[in-house]
């Protein structure tokens, strides 16, 4: 992913992906994770911290949510590397985005049924090239 912009590196199972770079909230080390994203009605990337319905949030989300360590994150997308604002959705914005997401990708409802936690949604807003 880091060395190619070819579709076969970025599109898996008919889903576009992003490569997030976060700093570990405890380790201070850089971590990378490839995640599928969904485009909301305004064309903004949204990643889902579903962790396949696990009881706990994934480590990448916990790192990203710690704004003292990750006020901005670096993310590689097909075509470039960007500094991004990772906005954790809440309230009505969360509800509306979740409804639109599962209308397009119903398998996320299966993950929701497996866990008692609220599955976080994170909108990635490009700030500037990295």
Q: Which CATH number goes with the domain that contains 54?
A: 2.30.110.10
60: which DSSP letter?
A: H
Residue 111: the pLDDT is: 96
Residue 52: the pLDDT is: 95
Tell me the per-residue pLDDT of 75-116, one tens digit each, with 9 for 90 and over. 999 999 999 999 999 999 999 999 999 999 999 999 999 999
Whole-angstrom Cα distance, residue 117 to residue 102? Answer: 17
Tell me the per-residue pLDDT of 35-77, one tens digit each, with 9 for 90 and over. 999 999 999 999 999 999 999 999 999 999 999 999 999 999 9
- Specify the pTM: 0.94
Whole-angstrom Cα distance, residue 123 to residue 86? Answer: 6
Q: Which domain holds residue 17?
A: 7-129
Residue 28 lies in a domain: yes
Residue 40: the pLDDT is: 96
Residue 66 lies in a domain: yes
Whole-angstrom Cα distance, residue 48 to residue 46? Answer: 7
3 state DSSP class of 35: strand
Residue 14: the pLDDT is: 87
Count structural domains, the chain: 1
Mean pLDDT of 2-17: 92
Whole-angstrom Cα distance, residue 35 to residue 58? Answer: 12
Q: Is the pLDDT of residue 11 over 90?
A: yes
Residue 86 lies in a domain: yes
Residue 113 lies in a domain: yes
């Amino acid at each position: 992913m880091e060395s190619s912009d070819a579709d076969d590196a970025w599109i898996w199972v008919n889903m576009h992906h992003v490569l997030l770079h976060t700093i570990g909230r405890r380790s201070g080390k850089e971590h990378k994770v490839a995640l599928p994203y969904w485009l909301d009605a305004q064309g903004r990337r949204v990643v889902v911290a579903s962790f396949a319905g696990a009881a706990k949030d994934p480590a990448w989300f916990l790192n990203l949510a710690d704004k003292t360590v990750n006020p901005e994150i670096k993310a590689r997308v097909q075509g470039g590397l960007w500094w991004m604002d990772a906005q954790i959705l809440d309230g009505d914005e969360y509800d509306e985005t979740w409804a639109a997401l599962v209308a397009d990708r119903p398998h996320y409802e299966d993950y929701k049924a497996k866990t008692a936690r609220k599955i976080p949604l994170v909108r990635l807003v490009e700030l500037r090239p990295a």
